Amino acid sequence: MGAVAHTQPTRQETCSQCCPRYHEAVELVGKRWTGAILYVLLHGGRLRFTEIANAVPDLSDRLLSERMKELEARRIVVRHVSDGSPTRVSYELTEKGRQLAPAMAELKVWADRWLD
Amino acid sequence: MGAVAHTQPTRQETCSQCCPRYHEAVELVGKRWTGAILYVLLHGGRLRFTEIANAVPDLSDRLLSERMKELEARRIVVRHVSDGSPTRVSYELTEKGRQLAPAMAELKVWADRWLD
């Protein structure tokens, strides 16, 4: 169970444990398409925009671009621009982003077990 | 790392691994307030509506009610109604819901490490 123990905390403890970091994390990862993008980057390593777009078929380029900017601003993703011509832009998870892997893996296990 | 391995799958594999169960799970858990409600129920066991509401201070009763109905429909939460008068309604995670604990715990670890 790691950090979550099945004890019965007081109401005050329940609240203070819940907020605000955990709440922020769960809504960050759960934001529409962000979970899928993180999954693709966790598996694919450094990827170009079109590679991410191809791996998440129903996601529009406009929304993918918006999500990548959010993830960059959060320092979960780093954007690389090559020197060559034409320049090539690629994206990679930072250490902060890669460390989401255990949580995503556990959620995948749950999804495979419990969702149709 | 569990189910998530740092191999380089083909694009087809990346897509098929990502969709649709994992995508559904991450957006289910990440839906606004759902993560916080699940966290409170994981820690608190069987709780009445007002107890959940008190543990998540910024969540309106209307939205909490909506989320509880969604979680019940997904069979993540079970609703108990007592025989007494007045009747008392309480909520508890099902086995399906409780098995989200490892994913939530890993996300909490990440949040404590990486978010301010």
pLDDT digits (tens, 9 = 90+) for A46-94: 999 999 999 988 889 999 999 999 999 999 999 999 888 888 899 999 9
Of the pLDDT bands very low, low, confident and very high (cuts 50, 70, 90), residue B86 is: confident
What value does the mean pLDDT take over residues B34-55?
92
**Rounded to 5 degrees, what angle do the CA atoms A51, A104, B9 make?**
35
Whole-prediction pTM value?
0.80
**Cβ of B50 under 8 Å from any chain A Cβ?**
no
Residues 81-100 of A with CB under 8 A from B: 96, 99-100
Q: Under an 8 A CB cutoff, do A111 and B6 touch?
A: no
| H-helix or E-strand spanning residue A106 | helix A101-114
ipTM score of complex: 0.82
> Does the beta carbon of A105 lie under 8 angstroms from any beta carbon of chain B?
yes
For chain A, give the longest Cα–Cα distance: 61
Q: What's the order of all strands across the beta sheet hosting A77-81? A: A47-48, A89-93, A77-81
Q: Please tell me the distance from the alpha carbon of residue B112 to that of residue A38, in angstroms, as a whole number.
A: 19
State the DSSP string of B30-43.
Answer: HSTTHHHHHHHHHH
Nearest CA in chain B to A101: B1
**CB A11 within 8 Å of CB B33:** no
Chain B residues near residue A14 by CB distance under 8 angstroms: 40, 43-44, 55
For tokens 């790691």, what's the residue?
Answer: A2
